[in-house]
Structure 1
Amino acid sequence: MNKHSVHQLILEKLQADLEVAQRAAQTAYETATHEENIAENKYDTLGLEASYLAAGQAKRVEEIRQSLVLCQNLTLRPYDEQQGIQVGTLLGLEDDEGRQQWLFLGPDAAGLKVYLVGQLITVITPRSPLGKSLLGKFEGDEVEIVVAGTRQQFAVTEVV
């Protein structure tokens, strides 16, 4: 696995998501401000609903833009054997049932998924329970988190 390739895929995905969100926000704004959507009586709420949608779309655009900027400003460093897992680390995990997954510990964009050579890689952040538990860990270490009352254990199998 190459974390520079993963980072580039994340940036490309965020850029594409931003473009889609901007188009959706523009369409919602145009719908909200179109003359046909002016309320004719107190029960005519199409314009109001469209304005709520436009506000939500604008917020989503700003969230993606912020994620993109944070990820663009991320300086990828080689894995440091002294510090362990840090933001910008690509790592493999295995749960106690033998299922493996690849994660990229990013500054933002939690939940974003990209594929590199057919392998799914999920972005997590230090704000998540798993991300917080992984900080400072090393290859071979185990981490344990409790989610909704269920204890989950993972072994760090590979660190890039």
Structure 2
Amino acid sequence: MNKTHVIEHLKFALEAQLNSAKQAAKAAHDAATHEESVAETQYDTLGLEAAYLAQGQAERVNECYKSIKQFEAIFKEPTHNKVIISSLVRLEDENTAQKWFYLGPAAGGLTVEVKGIIIQVVTPEAPLGKQLLGKQLDDEISLTIAGKNHEYEVVEIL
């Protein structure tokens, strides 16, 4: 796995998230300021609801900008022998099934596909991220998901 390719895919995915958020914010703003959103009675809340939606979408755009800045700060981090924020990690379960994760500062849950392999961003606040931080090759991780215990081994850190 080439970490540089993963980083490029992450950059594109973060930019796509930002563009999507911008479009949603513009649509929400347009709806909130449209003449049909003006209240006709004291019980007409369409305009108020549209304004709240516009505000939420604007906050989403700001979060996207923050995520991009946070990722830019770590993309050039060198590879370490321990998992740190910016590490690309391959885990293997007891059936030798492999999963790839990028430990990022934000945008948890974001996924990218590189050469047919899915890489998911996980943050240090997530249960998996907490366990990954500081791990080394051959360390084990145990997670309980939906009441079922899953065991993984760290087999690669980039």
Contact 1:22 1:61 in 2 (8 A): yes
Paired amino acid for 2:117: Q
**Distance (whole Å) between structure 1 residues aligned to residue 147 and residue 116 of structure 2:** 33
Q: What is the total number of aligned residue pairs between the two structures?
A: 158
TM-score, normalised via structure 1 length: 0.90
Shift of 1:98: 3.5
**Distance (whole Å) between structure 1 residues aligned to residue 94 and residue 144 of structure 2:** 14
Q: Does 1:129 align with 2:127?
A: yes
Q: Which residue of 1 aligns with 2:88?
A: 90
TM-score, normalised via structure 2 length: 0.91
Deviation string, structure 1 residues 64-103 (Cα, Å, up to 9, x no partner): 111111001114333323xx11111111112234332111
Q: Which residue of 2 aligns with 1:142?
A: 140
Q: Which residue of 1 aligns with 2:13?
A: 13
Shift of 1:139: 1.6
Shift of 1:49: 1.6
Q: Structure 1 regions of 5+ residues with no counterpart?
A: none
Secondary structure class of the residue paired with 2:74: coil
Q: Which residue of 1 aligns with 2:116?
A: 118
Secondary structure class of the residue paired with 1:12: helix
Secondary structure class of the residue paired with 1:73: helix
Q: Which residue of 1 aligns with 2:32?
A: 32
Deviation string, structure 1 residues 84-143 (Cα, Å, up to 9, x no partner): 111111111122343321111111111100011111100011111111111111121101
**Distance (whole Å) between structure 2 residues aligned to residue 142 and residue 95 of structure 1:** 10
Secondary structure class of the residue paired with 2:125: coil
Secondary structure class of the residue paired with 1:140: coil
Identity %: 44
Contact 2:7 2:75 in 1 (8 A): no
Shift of 1:43: 2.8
Worse-superposed segment, 142-151 or 129-138? 142-151
Secondary structure class of the residue paired with 1:126: coil
Paired amino acid for 2:49: E
Shift of 1:15: 1.0
Backbone CA RMSD of aligned residues: 1.6
Q: 1:106 to 1:117 in 2, by over 3 A?
A: same
Paired amino acid for 2:51: S
**Distance (whole Å) between structure 1 residues aligned to residue 76 and residue 137 of structure 2:** 18
